[in-house]
Amino acid sequence: MKFITGSGLLDQRPVVGDIRVPGDKSISHRSIMFGSLAKGETNIKGFLEGEDALATLAAFRAMGVIIEGPEDGRVVVHGVGMNGLKEPKDSLYLGNSGTSMRLLVGLLAGQNFSVTLTGDNSLSSRPMGRVVEPLRLMGANIEMTSNGRPPITINGGASLQGIDYLLPMASAQVKSCVLLAGMYAEGQTSTTEPAPTRDHTERMLAGMGYHLTRNGACSCLSGGGELTASTIDIPADISSAAFFMVAASIVPHSDLTLRHVGVNPTRTGVIQILELMGANLSLSNEKIVGGEPVADIRVQYAPLTGIDIPEALVPLAIDEFPVLFIAAACAKGTTVLTGAEELRVKESDRIQAMVDGLVALGIQAKGTPDGAIIEGGCLGSGYEKVEIQSQDDHRIAMAFAVASLQSAAKIVIHECDNVATSFPNFAALACSVGFQLKED
C-alpha cells in the first residue's frame, strides 16, 4: 500500500481538531505478557489493536492463555500464573515486532518447554545478541543465527541464575528482557542502564505486586515472585501523538488537542526537543492513571529553529526521530543529532531512510555514524511529485506524510502497509485534522 499526498504548500490547511491517538504500544505488549503470567483476570482498556501488539496477543494464545477481545480496545486476559504457560504447537511468528521478540525471549528463557521465535524480513535482520548474551550469562540455552539474528530457539528446562547486568546500550527492551528472565532465576537479578529508558516494565511489574526495587539507574528483583491480576488503562501512545505534534507545529494557524496521552518522563523527550526548537505545546488535565502519568496536549503553530539536540534526550525520544527530522527540515537553521546510533538498528536504518527521503525532497541532510545534520529548507521545491521509500518502516511512512503538509510537491510514499503495526487508523485520523492523504 502507498500513501499519496497532496501538496500542503499549494493548498494549505491548518491542522485543527481534538483527537485521541491509539493506545501505547509498549504498554499494550506488557499488559498481555504480565496479564498472562498473573493469576486471575486482567481487564485491559485502551489496548492498541495494531499488528505488533496483536502478535504478542497471538503468541500468548498459542501458549494456552485464554484472551477475550480485543474489542474496542478492551481485552480480558485469563492469567495462568507464572508457571502456567504451555508449549506452543508451532514456532511463534512475531511479524515486525522487536518488542515482542526481545521481551519474550527473556520471559521464555526460564520455562520448561522449548520454543522458536520468528519474524518478518525486517525483524529477521535485527540484532538479537544484545538479549541472548545476558540470558546465556544467566544459564539460558538459546540459539540464533551465526550473525546474531532471528530465528531464536529457546531450549527449555535451563535453570537460570540471577545476574547483575550492566547494559552496554540504553535499551528498554534489553533491560526488560533481563528483568523478565530474572523472575525465573535463582537469587537476585539487577540491571544498570547507561541512560534512562522507558520504565513501563518496572512500573507495571511493581503495580501488579512483583517486588522490585529501583535505585537510580539500577532496577532489581528476585526470582520466584508472583503477579496479581489487575485493571490496566492504557494511555494514548506519545510516539503516535508525536506525528501530530510536529504536524501542528509546522503548519501556520494550526491548533490541535491530543487527548489522554501518556507522558511518562522516560518518554517525553519529543516534547522537550520540540520546545527547544520553539514549538508551542501546553499540557493540561495532568493525572496519574494506573501508575502512568497522562495529559491532554495542545499544540499550536510556532516557527521552529534548528538546534543541537541534547544527547541526554535521545533515549527519551528514540522512536520519535523520524518525525523530528521533518521538524528539523521545516525549521530555520541547522539541527544536529548525535548519540543516536541505535536508530540504525530499528525497523529500518532510520538515519539512512530519513536522510534519503529528505534529500529526495531537496533538503540538505547528511547522515553521520550516530546521527544526522539537517538544514531547514523548502520541502519539494521545484518538483511536482516526489517518490519516497519508507523501507517498510511504519514511522518513516508516517513522518513523510507529515512532511507533505509543508511540501511544494505531492509525495508518493511507498511500502506503507506496516503503518498498521503501530497506528492502524493513521490515514483516516490524519485526514480528519487536515492532511491530504490517500491510501492506494
Residues with a catalytic annotation lie at 319
Q: In this chain, which stretch among 34-42, 145-153, 165-173, 352-360 interacts with ligand S3P, using CB under 6 A? A: 165-173
Q: Is there binding between residue 268 and ligand S3P (CB under 6 A)? A: no
Q: Check binding of 318 to ligand S3P (CB under 6 A).
A: yes
Member of 26, 31, 111, 390 binding ligand S3P (CB under 6 A): 26
Q: Which residues ranging from 208 to 237 are in contact with ligand S3P (CB under 6 A)? A: none
176/390 with CB nearer ligand S3P:
176
Q: Binding residues for ligand S3P, how many (CB under 6 A)?
A: 11
Measure the CA–CA gap between 4 and 411, rounded to whole angstroms: 6
Q: Label the pairing between strands 74-80 and 66-71.
A: antiparallel
Question: Three-state SS across 310-346?
Answer: CHHHCHHHHHHHHHHHHHHHCCECEEEECCCHHHHHC
Cα–Cα distance measured from residue 229 to residue 63, given in angstroms and rounded to the nearest whole number: 18
> H or E element: which one contains 155?
strand 152-155
Residue (133 or 342) nearer to ligand S3P, CB: 342
Query: Is residue 173 part of the contact set for ligand S3P (CB under 6 A)?
Result: yes
| Beta carbon of residue 275, minimum distance to ligand S3P (angstroms, whole number) | 22
Q: Which of residues 329-358 bind ligand S3P (CB under 6 A)?
A: 342
Site for ligand S3P in 94-123 (CB under 6 A): 99
Cβ at position 254, least distance to ligand S3P in Å: 27
The CA distances from residue 239 to 27, 200, 391, 427, in Å, are: 12, 14, 19, 16
Nearer to ligand S3P, 77 or 330 (CB): 77
Q: Which of 193, 233, 237, 319 binds ligand S3P (CB under 6 A)?
A: 319
When the beta carbons of 178 and 361 are compared against ligand S3P, the nearer one is 178
Q: Where are the alpha helices (DSSP H) in 311-433?
A: 321-329, 350-360, 394-403, 419-422, 426-432
CB atoms within 10 A of CB 44: 25
Q: Cβ-closest residue to ligand S3P?
A: 26
Tell me the angle at which helices 321-329 and 238-250 cross, rounded to the nearest 10 degrees.
10
Q: Which of 171, 219, 348, 390 binds ligand S3P (CB under 6 A)?
A: 171
Least Å from the CB of residue 338 to ligand S3P: 17
Which 182-201 positions form the footprint of ligand S3P (CB under 6 A)? 197-198
Residue 202 binds ligand S3P (CB under 6 A): no
CB of 194 to ligand S3P, least distance (A): 12
N- to C-terminal Cα distance for the chain? Answer: 6
Q: Where are the beta strands (DSSP E) in 8-146?
A: 16-19, 39-45, 66-71, 74-80, 92-93, 115-118, 141-143
Instruction: Tell the smallest beta-carbon distance from residue 198 to ligand S3P (Å).
Output: 6
Minimum distance from CB of 130 to ligand S3P (Å)?
Answer: 8
Sign of torsion over alpha carbons 50, 55, 56, 60 = positive
Range in contact with ligand S3P (rule: CB under 6 A) among 85-93, 166-174, 274-282, 299-307: 166-174
The alpha carbon of 348 is separated from its chain's Cα centroid by a whole number of angstroms, namely 13
Query: In terms of Cα–Cα distance, which of 263, 309, 257, 312 is closest to 280?
Result: 257
How many angstroms from the chain centroid is the CA of residue 266?
12
Out of 5, 7, 31, 176, name the contact with ligand S3P by CB under 6 A: 176
**DSSP β-ladder status, 231-233 and 39-45:** parallel
Binding residues vs ligand S3P (CB under 6 A): 26, 99, 171-173, 176, 197-198, 318-319, 342
